[in-house]
Chain A
Amino acid sequence: MASRPRTLYEKIWDAHVVEDRDDGTSILYIDRHLVHEVTSPQAFEALRLSGRKVRRPELTLAVPDHNLPTTPRLDSAGHRLPIADPESAQQLAALERNAPEFGIRYISATDAQQGIVHVVGPEQAFSLPGATIVCGDSHTACHGGIGALAFGIGTSEVEHVLATQTLLLKQSKTMEIVVDGDLTPGVTPKDLILHIIGVIGTAGGTGHVIEYRGKVFEEMSIEGRLTVCNMSIEGGARAGLIAPDEKTFAYLKGRPYAPKGSDWDEALAWWKTLHSDKGATFDKSVRINAADIQPTVTWGTSPEDVVPIGGVVPAPESFSDPSKQDAARASLDYMGLEPGQKLAEVEVQNIFIGSCTNSRIEDLRAAAAVLKGRKKANNVKWAIVVPGSGLVKRQAEEEGLDKIFIEAGLEWREPGCSACLGMNPDKVPAGERCVSTSNRNFVGRQGPGSRTHLVSPAMAAAAAVTGHLTDVRELME
């Protein structure tokens, strides 16, 4: 038994090592594998070509999300509507064919459980604390919010996991981000993670697995933790995690794939040991005071380009690094912003509330709380709310949130990735601005020429009401 104090990451890692190899890598066992239509076709193709089987089909769950249109999927007679884009249709058809062929559980586009992979995993308790979870998608880090070691992989690795239920990996370094104090009203987990990325930079976590620690995370809801861990990749880390606790256990208990009966008790006993030991050391440590954080918004084309909503667009010369100065100039040019301009005066034409970062029920409630009894501004041409899953959608409708959105002039859509990356028809027109609750403000991410400002759901709702970037606290009683 190891007597040296270990971090949470090391505990999960150690529990999954099949074999250490001479070249410094290990064969790591993978407990859960999520598959969607974009990064899997070539993996299945390779299995087929080499005559290989899926080793443990029951540990993989497939669900389409990236390409699905968010308009109704059934006609009035209950028949499935075709997908107009032939390439999207082809990717979906491939997944629909591959899943049964290889014996993999498949949630179809018209099932109530369908949704974004990273929303579906925790919601179904397919994702569990202490599990190793992978998916051909860089935002897999999301599942770290329930205390799982979760990270994105490439297509060859998808094939590797399907065939062997393992991956070849080098152990990462560890980084702790400790946030003490309390978040002030109007400041959400999204503002916190944007602020964190601003502090550490997009390369700050490279080569590391981040553990988020401190009072703020202990008090945060599970959904908030999922939001924070989701964007670990934007801070350069392949994975981010938060120790599971009573909230995590209460969240998971009774969900479809959660252990039952005595299995639950046994699982719980192990989960309770999953925290960094006293005296465990991290390779890197960052401390942040929650009280310093304001509602936060991005101004540029990198997620580290953040400022508090009360701030101004920075001057490129204000950065010490010359390459950052160049990047800032290019960003401002692309974004159509001037140094010194007040963020709160920037007009917007599009609003997107959704994505695996912010499309869960708490996110929708936060947006609805701001929109209730209000209307979107006239200059906002397009505003959509895309729930993360069919179950989130149903819950929101039970709570009447859909009515609030519709009455405010927003569109209420079917679940999927949607305008987060615009693989489906939901795109932001070139040169227009979108206030978005997603995770990437890259050049062209929401459509060629689109300009993205990342914010929390409450801030997106506030911008919808005023038609410009807005401090949500001004709209709160």
Chain B
Amino acid sequence: MEPVSEVSGRAIPFGRKNIDTDIIIPAHWLKTISREGLGRGAFQALREDPANIFDQEEFKGAPILIAGDNFGCGSSREHAAWALLDMGIKAVIAPSFSDIFSGNAFKNGILTVVLPQEQVDRLLEVARTDPINIDLTTQTVTTPFQDRFAFEIDPFRKHCLLNGLDEVGLTLSRDEAIAGYETMQAAQMPWFAKGTGLAA
């Protein structure tokens, strides 16, 4: 995964509440076999309206999305995170996220920033005309107008994002412990793999 320390640029002032993963990426896109290309299906129903915000020239490829409360609720589909990533989104700012969505976003290197509603409202206003900056190192969101909002983030997630560490890579670095467990299991519960017809 790419390390993330700063995300800055235009932010899509979306702002709607209770956006579920079905709105982010409709179910029929689940039949794909790749993580790529899902950006075309992102917010499909909303984008049928020619005046939708996502397709306005100035917000195309914007790296930040500003959403409302409870963003990413509903089904656990990871395709929602992939769709945002494929649109070019690297960070989402909202008053709250569904747990599963923020976990999926994190696993895919998308930064989720939780800020109180008033601050999100202020950013929605700024985003119409100006860029926004998110600095993960200092945990602040700033605007060209002296706004400066601090946010909290789980230290483990911060560490992983800053260093571009994915969970698989992190766990693989514990290979010795895993191998140790396997040796123990093979000795104490050999039937889990051996003699079951499963041993390689």
- Minimum CB–CB distance from B38 to chain A (whole Å) comes to 10
B167 and A94: CB pair below 8 A?
A: no
B199 contact set on A, CB distance < 8 A? 58
Q: Which residues of B contact A87 (CB under 8 A)?
A: 31-32
Q: Which residues of B72-122 are within 8 A (CB) of A?
A: 76, 78, 82, 100, 103-104, 107-108
- Residue ID in chain A nearest B195 by CB atoms: A263
The complex places the Cα of A423 from the Cα of B30 at a distance, in Å, of 10
Question: Are the CB atoms of A138 and B76 closer together than 8 Å?
Answer: yes
CA gap between A168 and B108 in the complex, in Å? 16
B33 within 8 A of A: yes
In the bound complex, do residue B76 and residue A29 qualify as a contact, i.e. CB atoms below 8 Å apart? no
Those of A27-51 within 8 Å (CB) of chain B: 27, 29, 31, 38, 41-42, 45-46, 50
Q: Which residues of chain A have C-beta atoms less than 8 A from B40's C-beta?
A: none
| Residue B51 is within 8 A (CB to CB) of chain A in the complex | no
CA–CA, A457 and B31, complex, Å:
29
Whether the pair A156, B108 counts as a contact (CB closer than 8 A) is yes
Complex alpha-carbon distance, A361 and B52, angstroms:
52
CA distance A166 to B172 in the complex (A): 10
Contact B33 A57, beta carbon cutoff 8 Å: no
Of the listed stretches A71-79, A251-259, A278-286, A352-360, chain B binds A251-259
**Contact (Cβ within 8 A) B156 A90:** no
From A41, A50, A257, B196 is in contact (CB under 8 Å) with A257
Total number of B residues with any Cβ neighbor in A under 8 Å: 40
CB distance from B37 to the nearest CB of A (A): 12
The residue among A50, A128, A154, A256 with the most chain B CB atoms within 10 A of its own CB is A154
Cα of A146 to Cα of B182 in the assembled complex, Å? 23
Q: How far is the CB of A261 from chain B (nearest CB, A)?
A: 7
- Determine which of B33, B154, B178, B180 lies in contact with A90 in the assembled complex, contact meaning CB atoms within 8 Å: B33
B190 contacts the other chain (CB 8 A):
yes
Chain A residues, CB < 8 A from B197 = 256-257
Q: Which residue in A41, A56, A103, A267 is a CB contact (below 8 Å) of B34?
A: A41
Closest chain A CB from B185 CB (angstroms): 7
Give the interface segment out of A157-165, A222-230, A390-398: A157-165
Nearest CB of B to A329, in Å: 17
Q: What residue of chain A has the Cβ atom nearest to residue B181's Cβ? A: A18
Provide the residues of chain A in CB contact with B154, threshold 8 Å.
Answer: 23
Q: Is the CB of B78 within 8 A of A156?
A: yes
Q: Is the CB of A18 within 8 A of B174?
A: yes
Q: Is A331 an interface residue (CB 8 A)?
A: no
Q: How far is the CA of A131 from the CA of B31 in the complex (A)?
A: 30
Known: A45-B34, A94-B33, A166-B178. A155 touches B196 (CB 8 A): no
A423 to B29, CA, bound (A): 11
Give the chain B neighbours of A319 by CB distance below 8 A. Answer: none
The 8 A CB mask of B177-194 against A (1 = contact, 0 = none) is 110111001000111111
Chain B residues with Cβ below 8 Å from A91 are: 31, 33
Report how far A94 CA is from B32 CA in the complex, Å. Answer: 10
B190 touches A266 (CB 8 A): yes
Given contacts A29-B181, A259-B196, contact A38 B30 (CB under 8 A): yes
A149 to B147, CA, bound (A): 49
A59 within 8 A of B: yes
Q: Are B181 and A260 in contact (CB under 8 A)?
A: no
Residues of B within 8 A of A168 (CB): 167, 171
A19 contact set on B, CB distance < 8 A: 174, 177
Contacts of A159 in B (CB 8 A): 168
Closest-by-CB residue of B relative to A25 is B156
Complex alpha-carbon distance, A31 and B189, angstroms: 11
Across the interface, do A163 and B168 meet the contact criterion of CB distance under 8 Å? yes
Q: Is the CB of A27 within 8 A of B185?
A: no
Residues in B neighbouring A164, C-beta threshold 8 A = 168, 171-172, 178
Least CB separation from B103: chain A residue: A154
Among B76, B78, B195, which residue has its beta carbon within 8 angstroms of that of A259? B195
How far apart are A167's CB and chain B's nearest CB, in angstroms?
Answer: 9
**Nearest chain A CB to B160's CB is how many angstroms away?**
11
Q: Give chain A nearest CB distance to B88 CB in angstroms.
A: 19
Question: Which residues of the other chain, A, contact B172 by a CB distance below 8 angstroms?
Answer: 52, 163-164
Bound Cα distance A58, B31 (Å): 27
Q: Which residues of A contact B35 (CB under 8 A)?
A: 42, 45-46
Which residue of A has the minimal Cβ distance to B155? A23
Bound-complex Cα distance A256 to B33 (A):
31
In the complex, what residues of B have CB within 8 A of residue A45's CB? 33-35
Contacts of A57 in B (CB 8 A): 200
Whose C-beta in chain A lies nearest to the C-beta of B196?
A: A257
Residues of B within 8 A of A18 (CB): 174, 177-178, 180-181
Inter-chain CA distance A50–B195, complex, in Å, is 33
Residues from chain B with a CB closer than 8 A to the CB of A154 are 76, 78, 100, 103-104, 107
Q: What is the minimal beta-carbon distance from A155 to any residue of chain B, in angstroms?
A: 5
Which 7 A-B pairs have CB atoms at the shortest separation, nearest pair first? A41-B33, A263-B191, A259-B191, A87-B31, A263-B195, A156-B107, A18-B181
Which residues does A use to contact B, with CB under 8 Å? 18-19, 23, 27, 29, 31, 38, 41-42, 45-46, 50, 52, 55-59, 67, 87-88, 90-91, 94, 103, 125-126, 128, 131, 138, 154-156, 159-160, 163-166, 168, 256-261, 263-264, 266-267, 270, 423
B positions within 8 Å CB-CB of A: 30-35, 76, 78, 82, 100, 103-104, 107-108, 154-156, 167-168, 171-172, 174, 177-178, 180-182, 185, 189-200
Chosen A-B contacts, 5 in total, with CB atoms closer than 8 Å, are A18-B181, A41-B33, A125-B196, A166-B171, A260-B196
20 further contact pairs, Cβ within 8 A, besides A166-B178, A260-B196: A18-B180, A23-B154, A27-B171, A27-B178, A41-B32, A50-B168, A52-B172, A56-B200, A87-B31, A90-B33, A94-B33, A126-B198, A154-B76, A156-B108, A163-B168, A163-B171, A164-B168, A164-B178, A165-B182, A257-B197
